[in-house]
Structure 1
Amino acid sequence: MEIRTVELEIADLDDFLETVDSVATAHDVTVQAFDARYVAGRQHLERAVELADRAIARGENVARDRSVEILLYAAGRRQIDRALEMGVSAGETRAVFVIDGTGDEAAAATALRERLDGDGWKSLERSATGTSGDHFEWRDSATIESFFDITEAERAATDADLETLVCERVALLEVEK
């Protein structure tokens, strides 16, 4: 799995999504873009991919598209419209891309960067290949706590970090089916 974080100016969301999909198809990978404020860290995304793949393998997936299933697990929600809040939107945005699949993930990451730059999107890539939390400086704790319904009381009752609490929410989606 490759993870890339970029700063983007998205003028047309549909055009942007078509570009992302064409890169994914060309390199036989799945690419999912997230609003960076909602991503707790690498472990959060790894767990979402793992659980989405397990649901697909068991025939229990909600979405037909693997990238959407990954989004559902990352968001800890079964409703696609609610999970989309965690996706990117038009305008200036900071995004985290998950690039995963049986194809050439590194080549897909390079192609994605080239296409984003070539199609007129301003992008500033930051590598996120380190350990959990190393390259997620754009996350917003208040946004994450609100989105995942993590209360102050819950934070006070445990010494678990925010990413661990989010991973618990992601795992609970399996139980709630």
Structure 2
Amino acid sequence: MDLLECRLDIDDLDSFVADLTAIGERDGATLQAFDARYVADRAHLERAVERADRATDRGENVAHDRAVEILLYAAGRRQIDRALEMGVDEGENRAVVLIDHAGPKNESNLDAARTAVTELEAFAGAEPTLDQQDEDVLQTFFDITDAERAATDASLAALVGERVALLDVGK
């Protein structure tokens, strides 16, 4: 899995999503763009990919599209409409674009997909976007209360990871 931390300036969201889909189909990759404010850390997205693939292998996936299934797990939600809040939107976005193998492992496919994303009109530049967490946004989106945080010494990222894991329990 590769993560491209960047700024995106999206004029037409449907066109941007179509571009990501076309890149993925051409390069044998799965691409999903996230609003960086909703991503706790790299492990958060790694867990989402693992759980989405496991659900698909077991025939328990909700979405037919792997990128959408990853989004559902990353959001810790089974409702696609609610999970889409975690995605990018039109305008300027601090983003994380997940690029992963959609088939047999072939690193050149990921490299080609990453390069293609950087060549999109919406790509406004690479920059660290996971270096700072917006704790209020994460707590609100993942329904993590102040009381829950006070009751544990676990990090906020660990609590978000727990939400990803709990999605399987809630099925």
From 121, 136, 143, the counterpart of 2:137: 143
Number of paired residues? 166
Contact 2:118 2:125 in 1 (8 A): no
Alpha-carbon offset, residue 8 of structure 1 = 1.2
**Match of residue 132 from structure 1:** none
Deviations 1:11-65 (A, max 9, x none): 1001111111111111101000101100000000000000000000000000000
105-114 vs 79-88, greater mean Cα deviation = 105-114
Contact 1:6 1:126 in 2 (8 A): yes
| Secondary structure class of the residue paired with 1:146 | helix
Contact 2:142 2:163 in 1 (8 A): yes
**Match of residue 37 from structure 1:** 37
**Match of residue 24 from structure 2:** 24
**Match of residue 111 from structure 1:** 116
Aligned-residue Cα RMSD (Å) equals: 1.3
148-157 vs 48-57, greater mean Cα deviation = 148-157
What is the distance in 2 between the residues matched to 1:55 and 1:80?
A: 16
Q: Equivalences for 1:77-88 in 2 at 5 Å?
A: 77-88=77-88
Q: Could you tell me which amino acid in structure 1 is paired with residue 27 of structure 2?
A: H
Q: Which runs of 5+ in 2 are unaligned?
A: none
Q: Equivalences for 1:26-175 in 2 at 5 Å?
A: 26-101=26-101, 102=103, 103=106, 104-114=109-119, 116=120, 119=121, 121-126=122-127, 136-175=130-169
User: TM-score, normalised on structure 2?
Assistant: 0.93
User: TM-score, normalised on structure 1?
Assistant: 0.90
Pick closer, same or farther for the CA change 1:12–1:171 going to 2, 3 Å. Answer: same
Contact 1:36 1:138 in 2 (8 A): no
Alpha-carbon offset, residue 140 of structure 1 = 1.4
